[in-house]
């Protein structure tokens, strides 16, 4: 009995020291900046999109075809009272194969929609987890990558894609 009381007293003293020590350690001056991303698939490959660059996500929207020379332009669609052009993001990245696009994301910077093959979910990572990428992959639209759920995903910069569409 005395042995168990001594053990409990020793554990209590240890917890008290750890508690006191936690106040002695200086807090980090810089808070961890988190980023929200969407996990998507294009051409059968995994990618990520920054949620801050997206104004909306839609499934099974009707796209009206329009004539044009740009093969990536799928047509136009209505979103919350706004008609926006819809581009095949897979085609803009130079990817082929995969399934038909079912999902559409609206860019936050301009009323432009991008068609995606699949939406796999949303995840949050620290900014430090997004690593710059060497070289100029996917026509310069992916400048970084992130490891999430055991899958390495290039991060598509929608702002760069919008710039390419304008030119």
Give the tens place of pLDDT for each residue, 132-157.
877 655 557 888 999 988 899 999 99
Q: In sequence order, what are the residues at sequence separation of 6 or more whose Cβ sits closer than 8 angstroms to the Cβ of residue 6?
A: none
One DSSP character per residue, 123-164 reads EEEEGGGEEE-SS--GGGTEEEEEEETTEEEEEE-HHHHHHH
d(CA 86, CA 48): 19
- Residue 9: the pLDDT is 86
Q: In sequence order, what are the residues at sequence separation of 6 or more whose Cβ sits closer than 8 angstroms to the Cβ of residue 25?
A: none
- Please provide residue 136's backbone torsions phi and psi, each rounded to the nearest 5 degrees: -125, 75
Single pTM value for the model: 0.76
Cα angle, residue 107 at apex, residues 101 and 91 outer, rounded to 5°: 40
What pLDDT, in 10s, does the model give residues 65-118? 998 778 889 999 999 889 999 999 999 998 887 778 899 999 999 999 999 999
d(CA 71, CA 88): 9
| Phi/psi-derived region of residue 90, left when phi > 0, alpha when psi is between -120 and 50, beta in every other case | alpha
Domains of the chain in sequence order? 34-166 (2.40.50.180)
d(CA 35, CA 33): 7
d(CA 27, CA 44): 44
8-state DSSP, 80? T
């Amino acid at each position: 009995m005395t042995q168990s009381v001594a053990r409990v007293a020793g554990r209590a003293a240890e917890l008290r020291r750890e508690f006191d020590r936690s106040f002695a350690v200086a807090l980090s001056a810089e808070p961890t900046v988190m980023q929200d991303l969407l996990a998507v698939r294009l051409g059968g490959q995994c990618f990520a999109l920054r949620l801050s660059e997206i104004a909306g996500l839609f499934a099974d929207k009707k796209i009206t075809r329009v004539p044009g020379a740009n093969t990536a332009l799928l047509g136009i669609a209505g979103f919350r009272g706004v008609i926006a052009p819809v581009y095949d993001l897979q085609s803009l990245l130079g990817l082929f194969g995969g399934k038909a696009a079912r999902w559409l994301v609206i860019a936050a910077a301009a009323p432009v929609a991008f068609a995606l093959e699949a939406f796999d979910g949303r995840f949050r990572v620290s900014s430090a987890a997004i690593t710059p990428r060497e070289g100029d992959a996917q026509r310069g639209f992916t400048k970084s990558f992130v490891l999430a759920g055991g899958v390495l995903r290039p991060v598509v910069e929608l702002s760069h894609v919008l710039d390419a569409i304008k030119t």
